[in-house]
Structure formats: C-alpha cells, structure tokens
Structure 1
C-alpha cells in the first residue's frame, strides 16, 4: 500500500511490519543440504519446531525466511505460533544442474538455464499458493554477487557496481529472468507479493530497468550500525518498498579472538532502529516494511562447507569496515560466518535435536520488537525513547543467566554476575595489567586480602531464581586462564547444588596447581569421570588459592587475574 505517509505491507487488512528472522534447523555435525530432521517422524519434527518457534514467538518474531520447508509445517507454524513464512528459492545463486551436469556459475542468458529456473519459480508458487501462513515469495539470494563468486563461500562484498560490460550484460540477464519469473508467479497467485533478494544496491540501475513487475526490493545488506542511504536510493530510483532479507552481526570478535555478545547486540539493535525509523508515518523516507535478522542460530557448517561440521570455526572469512568493533585496521578480515546466530547451538542428541541458548542479541531484540511503528500516535520521539531504554548490558546478563554463559571473556561492557566470598575478598573486572601470555583487554581480578578465609573464592550463579545454569550436556571440561603472584598455588573449580532426582545437593570439584608465577597459564578441569553429563548445577565456584593459610601480602590489583572461563 502506498500513500502520502509512505509504503506499507498490509496483511489481512492490517498494517504489518515484518519482524522477521532467517531460520533453518541444522544440527551441529551436519550441513544445510543434509535432510536432518525433515525425513524423521512428525513427532521429532514437531519437537524441533515447537522448541524454536516458542522462542521466536516470545521474542516478537512474526515471520521467518527459509528454504524447502514442507507446506504442512508452514501451516503448523502459523496456526500454532502466529508466525508467517516467506519461502525462498535460490534461483541459481550457487549454480545449478543442467542435463545432469553441475554448473557452478549460472548463465542467466542461456535458454536451457532459464527453463530450469522458470520451472523452479512455478514450482514455488504451485507448492505454496493455497497454504495458510504464507507471507510472500522471495526469489534468489544476492545472485548479483554470485555473478562473480563461484562458490557458496562469502568473499568481500562488492558494494559498488562493475563497469565491466560482460558483467553488466550478465546482470541484466539476471534481472530479466527475475522479472519473468515474477510474472509467472503472479499469473498463478495474485494474493501474495513477490520480492527479489539482491546484494546491497549493486546494479540498482538494472533492477529499475528490468524488474518492473516485482513488488518489493529485498536486499542482503551488511553496512554496520546503519543502512545509510539505502532507503532514499530505493525510493528515488525504484519507487518501491525496501525489505532487508539479511542483516546483522556475528557474535565473534575477530580482533580479540573471542565471543562478543555485546557487540552483536549493539549492531542488531542499531539496524532495527534504522528500519523502524524509515517505516511509513514517522517522517523519514517511509518506504521500509521490515526485515529478517540473520540469523536465529549459528551455522557450524558455513566456513568451509565440506569439512569441520562439528567444529565451531573462528576463522574470519571476509572484511567489512562497517563493523570496526572487531578490527585493528580496516583491512582486517572480521566477519565470522559460523557465529551469526542470536542463539548459540548445543550438541545433537540421539533424535537429531539440539537446545538453543539465547545470546544477548535475542533479549535485546525481544525489547526491540515490543515497539510497533504503526501504532496510532507514534512519533520519532517515541521511537528514540524506546530504543534509548534498551539496556544492552542487561541483555548480556540475561544471556549469561540463561546458559549462553560460556565462555566468560570479560570483554563486554557489562560486569558479569560473579561475587566473591569470604572475609573481605573482592572480585571486579579490570584492565589486564599483565600481558605475559594473554593480551585480553579486560580480565577479572580476585583480591584475596590478608584476612580472607583460607577457602575464599568467587561464584557465578543465578541469585534471583533456583534455575540450574550449568548444563554439563554442553561439555564436562572447563578451562580458565589465571595469573598468580606465586607458584605452587592450588586452584579448585567446584560444581554446586546439583539439580538431580537423588536426595541432597551433591557437589563435585577438580583441583589443579599453578606451576609458574606472574604469567598467564591455562588450567583444565575435567569433570567427566565424576559427573553424568546429564546433570545440571545451580552454581560454579572457583577458589584461586584454595587451602592456603600462608598468603603473600600483595597489593590489590596484583593478586589473581582470571580470564576466559570456558566450557568444552
């Protein structure tokens, strides 16, 4: 719908802002092309969907972008969770099979190729046109980039168009094919809009000339905290609504070589503020109808796509200066493909299912989606007030209290919920004062003062509820880095208040000894021989100097430094 205020998507007679997310179900150890749960029983598929859609509904998501989902599950998701589906076809983005031969780069001017692509588009509309819960159709996935790329792996994104006449001709053929497929879809279904998925604004001039029948300009766009001129350019050059098919941030800080939930939440919240600011009626460009955060859970298969499906790779594969929080210099690779999930992914069980552990971005976006830009009387002032009150530090704390806890890296701006005991011992986050073996900027400082008890230490627990927060199904091995003012110190890590069916509250501990003084060492604490991996605990306690009655009088700031508490 277009009017003087801007452009809107209307669903069942109501203005609809797309609070969407990219969604799939790919267990650790498999890749996106594996059949996974989809060839298993309905009971298992429902268990997977129920677990994830409950989280999505709680977050305020009203639409998912996905591929190859069976129509009956589209309806199940819609009827049980009120979440719409935007089915997507790749439209040759990653190559296609012609006459039994795999072609890695699609030629959109080839008649045989166009026949295959048109059949794919017609299959899309014929499969879903009568299905309750369909929001719209989407064609492609940044196919314009893949005119240059020859694999599914991501390289540096070409934001500016190419003046190479051969590439321009190939792109023109692509957009003609998009438009012809759109017309065929509309012949068969006049009730659902059709969007394409372009990479950023590359070849926007050709989109204007060739894609005259599409309804929505969809784009994958990674520009950092803002989309900048995208809204105005799409309005001026296409006079069309813009929808973001992918955007967001990874949760891995390539500069510091560790997870960074605060950073991910920061960029995601900034992107959504930009989206809402440019919806109809709020006084800015007014042509944005929403978007789909990328993505719901981590893709452990994405780095190489042929190996290491059971390894959470931390190799940054492309460079983007818009995300400077994890770069030393603008040319550094900083985008970690396997870490874009706003939920961390647990191990796969015997049924092929897994748990999700929401990161800080999940909780921050839950607050984001409580805002309705189409509510009567809403202004930019209301929007600014809403986003100003989203506390990213609180989101980090919520994530750590909801088992997305490990690793604790102490680089986020929030202080994590650790507390010290006994007799004056203190714990606080400080700047790292000893770079001998650890270059982290921030660490924990545990100060065991002279009158502290011999058993003093610090704990991480959920002091507000009785909910178990340490889940050993995620691993029974814990490591931590520690820097001690003296050698020979005994360090104890203890799991306390086990949540089990047996009587009492048993606890288990492992001791390790620090061999050297005044340098960082990594200690490993393996609970596997003591504790069943199904156990959960309500508290983890760490004693940096256990059973030591001969304390060295060291000034505060140089006692015990702790970093990178990690579960394996």
Structure 2
C-alpha cells in the first residue's frame, strides 16, 4: 500500500501544475505568460497518405533548434510515448478534433470526450481545438454552417465539464462573422487561419471592433513554389520567396504581440500526398481562400514545409530560427 501511495503521489506531482488559462487576453501556463511560436505538424512520409511519427525524434530536434515551442496537429495523437517526447522536448501541442473522422476521437460520435478524459492531465497539452476552417465547408453540414457552429459550441461546453485546466479554441478561416461569434459563445480563444499576403496584423483592428476575446494565428505563412514571377522572385521552386514572406509575416505579428497570443507557421514538413502522386513532389493543389498567399496568390500544397520531405532545411528554417529565438 505504501508503494501504491508513493506511485500515485508521483503521478499527481507530475501533472498537478499543468494548468493553462487566459489572463489579460494572453495564454498563461503554470503562472507564466505563454506566447505561441509554433508550427503546424502533419508528418506524412513519402509515398504514403497518412501521418506517422517515425521521424519524431529528428523532427523535435529540428523544432527545438528553430525555437519552436508549440506544434498544432490536425488529428489527436493517441500515443503516450509521442506526447511524452513532445513534453520532454519542452514543446506544447494544440490538439485538434475533427467533426467526422469515422469515430476517431471525433465530435460527431462524441469520442473526442474519451480523448480529453484520457489526456487532460498530460503536460504536453496546451489547447483543445475544434475543427479546422470548417466555415469554408457548409456542404459538410447539410449546406448550413450553423450546424457546425452549434456542434462546435456544444463540444466546447462538454469539454469544459471534464477539463477546466485547458482553454477551448477553434481554427477559423479568416475573421468569424457575427453568427459564428454569437453561436460559438463557449469558445475561449479563437484560432485564425490567415493569409493576407505578408501582413496579418491588419486583422487586429477588425477584431477589436467586434470582440474582446483573445486570438492566435493558427495558420500563416508561405510555400516555396512560385507559379509566376513576382518582382525579384522567379517562377518555380523559390525558397527565397518563402523565407522573405515568413520573415515579414513573423516580424509583423511580433510588432502586435501585446494583442495576439501567438502564431503558428504552416507547416513543418512538405506534404507530398496533397496534390497528386505521393511518391513525388507535385505542383498544384487547392486550398480555400488562398489568393492571399505570398507572393503569387496560389497555395502550392506540397511545398509549404520549412524542411523538405527528407528533413533538409529550407532557407525559411534559418529565418524562423533567428526570429523565434530572439
């Protein structure tokens, strides 16, 4: 009984300070203000269409080198050893729940609550995030986006019944309209996927006119392929254009860091599965509301990584490292 008591005490000691809350419109982790310097992370190996974490050790090493403190995933990580490695690296994770993922910790089937119960005390968890720019897809909700907003708001409420130690967010495409904000009253902090060329900071003045809730930029950035010439940036693979865009984006966000909870650059590694043959890197692909992607107004979906599929650093890696480590 003594050994059991000591073991339980050790577990409680490990997790009891894992508290994330919002204070003065900023994230606060265990009593310290926390500014997200993050990366979106969906590691799908070459030739495959589903993510796996076979490169997690290399990836975390590169993330630490770049000064990244937060990763955002698009589907829950149901592997304790992976979450433990993220935590050991000193990195937090934003866990996103999809609406209909065939029962895999999704909102439609209420299985997301099983995940919250299972991992709410894990030190790696920063936020619970509901959906990813679903506002662009009313067709997924019988043509009525209100169906999503109501499901989102209900899910946020259910999470709060289980876990009072982590805020609940959603990743919304651009500024939420009046309807989204009104129905989504249980959202604590809004994630904004934003592609306004190389300056997302204009969002803040618009947001302050309609809401006093905190926000973070859940996606921003640029890919490394130019579909056309633009100024000094030539058509084709162009790491210089990506590096220049990300540098300007991050600098502009840092100028308003008193009004935003952070930024996540899209994305860590190139995704060869998105636009064609997953064994090769294809030009093209499509993403909603992507005309603001710098510097060609096109989202070349397989070229967004700050490292390539083999984990070679692109030029933007060093830019992000310099800015995130300041």
Q: Which has the higher contact order (CA 8 A, sep 6+)?
A: 2
Counterpart in 1 of 2:265?
293
Q: CA deviation at 1:24?
A: 2.5
Query: Which residue in the other structure is 2:301 paired with?
Result: 337
Do 2:189 and 2:214's aligned partners in 1 also have CA atoms closer than 8 Å?
yes
Instruction: Report the equivalent of 1:83.
Output: 91
Q: Residue 189 of structure 1: which of 163, 170, 194 is its match? A: 163
Aligned CA distance change for structure 1 residues 177 and 293 (closer, same or farther; 3 Å): same
1:33-61 deviations in Å (ceiling 9; x for gaps): 6xx45xxxxxxx4xx22211111001000
Q: Distance in 2 between matches of 1:246 and 1:364?
A: 17
Partner of 2:194: 221
CA displacement 1:180-208 (0-9 Å, x = unmatched): 1001001000011111111112x421122
Q: After superposition, where does 1:286-435 map in structure 2 within 5 Å?
A: 286=259, 288-304=260-276, 308-315=277-284, 317=286, 320-323=290-293, 325-326=295-296, 334-346=298-310, 356-371=311-326
Q: 2:34 aligns with which of 16, 22, 35?
A: 16
How far did 1:324 drift?
5.7
Secondary structure, counterpart of 1:266 in structure 2:
helix
Task: Write the distance in 1 (CA, Å) between the matches of 2:301 and 2:313.
Answer: 18
Return the offset for 1:316.
Answer: 5.3
Partner of 1:24: helix, strand, or coil? coil
The structure with more strand, counted as a fraction of residues: 1
User: In 1, Cα distance between the equivalents of 2:214 and 2:109?
Assistant: 25
| 1:266 pairs with 2:244 | yes
CA distance in 2, matches of 1:251, 1:222: 15
Matches within 5 A, 1:207-218: 207-218=180-191
Instruction: Give the TM-score normalised by the residue count of structure 1.
Output: 0.49
Q: CA deviation at 1:117?
A: 2.0
Contact 1:342 1:361 in 2 (8 A): yes
1:7-46 → structure 2 map (5 Å cutoff): 7-32=25-50, 36=52, 45=54
Q: Quickly say closer, same or farther: Cα 1:214–1:118, change in 2 above 3 A.
A: farther
- Aligned counterpart for 2:62 among listed residues 55, 68, 83: 55
**CA distance change for structure 1 residues 269 and 116 in 2, over 3 Å: closer, same or farther?**
closer
Q: Pick from 232, 256, 262: which aligns with 1:278?
A: 256
Task: Give the deviation of 1:62 after TM superposition.
Answer: 0.5
Q: Given that residues 274 and 285 in structure 2 are in contact (C-alpha distance below 8 angstroms), is that contact kept between their aligned partners in structure 1? A: no
Of 210, 221, 224 in structure 2, the residue corresponding to residue 248 of structure 1 is 221
Where do 1:494-505 residues align within 5 Å? none
The 1:268/1:217 distance shift into structure 2, 3 A limit, reads same
Q: Deviations over 1:100-149 (max 9, x none)?
A: xxxxxxxxxxxxxxx95261331231232021211111110111112147
Give unmatched runs, 5+ long, in structure 2. 1-21, 229-233
What is the DSSP-based 3-state SS (H/G/I as helix, E as strand, rest coil) of the residue aligned with 1:135? strand
Aligned length, in residue pairs? 295
1:72 to 2:72 alignment: no
What RMSD, in angstroms, separates the aligned Cα atoms of the two structures? Answer: 2.3
- Note the residue ranges of structure 1 that are not aligned, 5 or more in a row: 38-44, 99-114, 151-165, 281-285, 328-333, 347-355, 372-568
Rounded to whole Å, the distance in 1 between the matches of 2:200 and 2:40 is 18
Q: Secondary structure at the match of 1:338?
A: coil
Distance of aligned partners of 1:231 and 1:121 in 2 relative to their CA distance in 1, 3 Å threshold:
farther
Does the aligned pair in 1 maintain the 2:99–2:107 contact within 8 Å? no
Q: How does 1:478-557 map to 2 (within 5 A)?
A: none
SS in 2 for 1:15: strand
More helix by percentage: 2
Secondary structure in 1 aligned to 2:312? strand
User: What pairs up with 1:144-159 in 2 under 5 angstroms?
Assistant: 144-148=135-139
Q: What do the CA deviations read for 1:491-535 (whole angstroms, capped 9, x no partner)?
A: xxxxxxxxxxxxxxxxxxxxxxxxxxxxxxxxxxxxxxxxxxxxx
CA distance in 2, matches of 1:265, 1:116: 37
How far apart in 1 are the matches of 2:218 and 2:111? 20
CA separation of 1:223 and 1:194: change in aligned 2, threshold 3 A: same
Whole-angstrom distance in 2 between the partners of 1:64 and 1:222 = 19
Structure 1 residue 369 displacement after superposition: 0.7
